[in-house]
Amino acid sequence: MNNTYFCFCGKEKRENRLTCPRCFELYREDTKGKVGLLQWVKKQAINRLKELGASAEIPETNLEIDLKRKRDELRKLEEQVREETFLTLQKQLTGAGQLRQEEVDALNEDIRKGVWEEKGGNRLYAEFKNLGREIEQRITPLRILLQEIEKLEKEQLSADKLIDAALEN
């Protein structure tokens, strides 16, 4: 995600800001200053994750679950392609005599590519990559934001405890 920072809405924001300018205006209109920005943003981010299928019981979104399924499908397909490639190569090399390793490797790669395409490997791989990009754009910023908020809340709690301790003395 290089050095680009995203707001919970998915728009770019500055590194040192909790929200983009548009969401800050929405916060102002929505709360009229009666709720802290941190709490409002946290609620918005959690609501976005819920809209995407996350819950307290299952913290993963539907997209993340789909990505796991696609990853498993891809692994199974790769194993299937390896097995079929090996068997086909063995059949084709029966009685071929002595071949150089480069020749065997080239034939193996040709067979592998053919089996991969025949089984829909390119389509499956593209779907897997697209899901990964969608998660990176829609979900990862929310998770990062919630981690930042949790860190800020802990820092605030520590500061509050320190102030309370100082006031008691």
Q: Which domain holds residue 85?
A: 62-138
Percent of the chain surpassing pLDDT 70:
97
Residue 35 resides in a domain:
no
Q: Is residue 109 in some structural domain?
A: yes
Q: Kindly indicate the confidence band of residue 148, based on its pLDDT and cuts at 50, 70 and 90.
A: confident
Q: Note the pLDDT of residue 1.
A: 43
The 10 Å CB-count burial string (b at 16+, else e) for 145-163 is: bbebbeeeeeeeeeeeeee
- Domain contains 122: yes
The tally of domains found in the chain comes to 1
State the chain's mean pLDDT as an integer. Answer: 90
Answer yes or no: is 19 within a domain.
no
Q: What is the pLDDT of residue 2?
A: 56
Query: Residue 4: pLDDT above 60?
Result: yes
Cα distances (angstroms) measured from residue 77 to each of 68, 81, 106, 115, 167: 14, 6, 21, 10, 65
3-state SS of the chain: helix, strand, coil percent to 5?
Answer: 75, 0, 25
Query: What mean pLDDT is predicted for residues 33-53?
Result: 92
Residue found by looking up tokens 């929505």 in the block = 30
Question: What is the rounded CA–CA span in Å between residue 25 and residue 3?
Answer: 24
User: Does residue 108 surpass a pLDDT of 90?
Assistant: yes
Does 82 fall in a domain?
A: yes
What's the rounded mean pLDDT across residues 46-63?
92
22 part of a folded domain? no
* pLDDT grade for 169, boundaries at 50, 70 and 90: low
